[in-house]
Structure 1
Amino acid sequence: MPAWKPISPTPAIRLAICAPKNAELRVLLETEKARTGENLALLDDARRTLTDQFRALSTDALARSNASFLQLAEENFGKLQMAAKGDLDQRGQAIAALLQPVVEHLGKLDTNLREMEKTREGAYHGLREQTALMRQLYHELKSETGNLTRALRAPTVRGRWGEIQLKRVVELAGMLDHCDFQEQVQTPEDRKLRPDLVVRLPGGKTVIVDAKAPLEAYLLAVEATDDDTRRLHLLHHARQIRTHIKALSEKTYWEQFKGNTPEFVVLFLPGEHFFAAALEHDPSLIEAGVEQSVILATPTTLISLLRAVAYGWRQERLAENAREIAAHGREMHKRLSTFTEHLSKIGKGLESASSAYNSAVGAFDSRVLVQARKLAEFDTAGLGDSLETPPPVETALRWSSAVASLPGPSNNG
């Protein structure tokens, strides 16, 4: 018997079988759709309601939070402001205390600057006045120099100017008391040799100074307008000095003063520039002068020479004072010796008088007073007070050992 096999339903059968189920499912689906729509509507209403409530709650909470925050911030800010104000006051006071010395220093500095400004203005004003005065003096000096240059061309004026310069040098050296000028000096044997200055040295010696140096060529050089002409005049100036040295050497002043002066004469140039210009164009002038017993001297060197002589005179005065002091000392010693001799005689006389007085007192006590007391025993009327013995002199005379050691008048030197 064949096996039983199940028969597969056909699609139509399946469709017939599922049709009721499908209808039921469709109804259920529509029902679920309707319910879902209602639920969604409820959800929308709930969402709107919750949104409105949340918005209201949020606004209220934010408002309260803002109000609290503002109040708290205001309180904290007030506290901070008060603290900051106090701290600011303290810092201001501290800064003011720190800045006070600076302010005072700046005030003093400002005052000093004002005073300096006034001083500067005064100094500038004075400087302007001094500058104007110097400008005026320069023009006056230039004019006077020109006048002096023109005047010095005359030999008599030039010689007089040299004598004035020479006398001024002597005054600066403090040697007026030991210098004789031309009008005071005469040489023997009727020779026309009249030195401008004779410097007296300690011990009776002298030094001759001549001030007749030629200056014509130098004055022409000063007025020259070009270098070549000026150089030619200065060369002539050096030659003039050399010629004058030779002429001065030939006068042999030292022979006219009988050996009281060294064998040289001093040629005085009344300015350093005269000597410098001559030496620049003839460097052998000094050697030439020494070889011919003529010493060139300017105001500086002559002052040095005269001050050395003045020092010698001071030493001479000190030696003279020492000699006078020694003479007075010898005389004082002599007189002291005589005085001590008389003083010794007085002491011996006083000692002798004291001895005689004590002997008289002893005799009066041992002889006269005894007799007088016996007379008083008879109570003779009118005798008065009783007689007393005079005290003896017991003080010994004091002798000076220093005075006693002095020799007598016959022993002094």
Structure 2
Amino acid sequence: MANKVYVVGVGMTKFEKPGRRKNEDGSDWDYPDMARESGTKALADAGISYDQVQQAYVGYVYGESTSGQRAVYELGMTGIPVVNVNNNCSTGSTALYLAAQAIRGGLADCALALGFEKMQPGSLGATWEDREQPMTKHIMAMAEISEVLFPVAPWMFGAAGREHMKQYGTTAEHFAKIGFKNHRHSVNNPYSQFQDEYTLDDILGARMIYDPLTKLQCSPTSDGSGAVVLASESFVDRHDLAGQAVEIVGQAMTTDFKSSFDGSAKNLIGYDMNVQAAQQVYAQSGLGPEDFQVIELHDCFSANELLTYEALGLCAPGEGPALLDANQTTYGGKWVVNPSGGLISKGHPLGATGLAQCSELTWQLRGTADKRQVPNVTAALQHNIGLGGAAVVTAYRRADR
């Protein structure tokens, strides 16, 4: 029988515009500095020392090999296994998935998932030009659906948004409402890269990146780090952590299916991966979409947030716009989606995103999210995706409930 898995400590840095933050001595804020800050916070939150951690999974997308070791050496050098993780934009939640798997399988009583990213300004690009790119198959398939435009990411997600508009009558304003909501949420998040509120007209009138996606509906490049301490039930009991522990009651990772290449833009950006991962989590947890009050999902672009409403089963296909029109995904609605501000406003340091999502939901379940707090939270849902591809969905509940 699988062991129960609990989040007992979380921590993160403020997400920053690449290269903006400096250390007190004037030196560049580098990834070891980020990892030291987020990891120290997570350990302090758990009330444990690094020498009690038995395994570490460290995620980043851009960096040299064994950067994971260099990062966690800021916390201690105890000889434990340190696994470097790279799964595109779902890297942080993949590290979380692997750490949880170690606890669930009885291989460790306490594990650390840590993620960071030190990014270059501007749109994402390829690092290695002398070999097959992992997204080539997806790009070629999308090129059969839509004219090719660079940068690739907004083109692909924008094409999926256009497909939804054509099929269901969704408007540019519906996508803009997501940007409006998430920027408004971020005003209350001190960890967010942006903390500015905009009008709906501001969102619609911002520079067009790929119609219907304007700049204020696109996640920025970011520097930052997040960390999560996971523990077994016996560890929680021995250290009297039940009062702060949050249980992972369902978790699934999927990668591309044959249906990803069925000729639809939405499946090329992971819709079917999301559906399958969510259904597995609902089956594991015994919870359904109606049982969650707060959701952190992967809004790399506003089009993806709308499509994810439907993939997670918050509504039927084509009904995402109706949720937005009825204000069902913000405070006062059925769910509060991305109270942190989401990737659009909080930022998106690729290796840290999934762990920042976990941190936000842990605070929400503990009732310690300050001005962002969603009332009466009993269960929370997380969704993180990376093209190429992997989707990770995780369900949480308070241990004392």
Query: If the TM-score is normalised by the length of the shorter chain, which range does it land in?
Result: under 0.3
Kindly name which structure, 1 or 2, has the bigger radius of gyration based on alpha carbons: 1
Name which structure has the greater RCO, CA cutoff 8 Å, separation 6+. 2
Larger helix proportion of the pair = 1
Q: What TM-score results when the alignment is normalised by the length of structure 2?
A: 0.18
If each structure's strand is expressed as a fraction of its own residues, which one has the higher value? 2
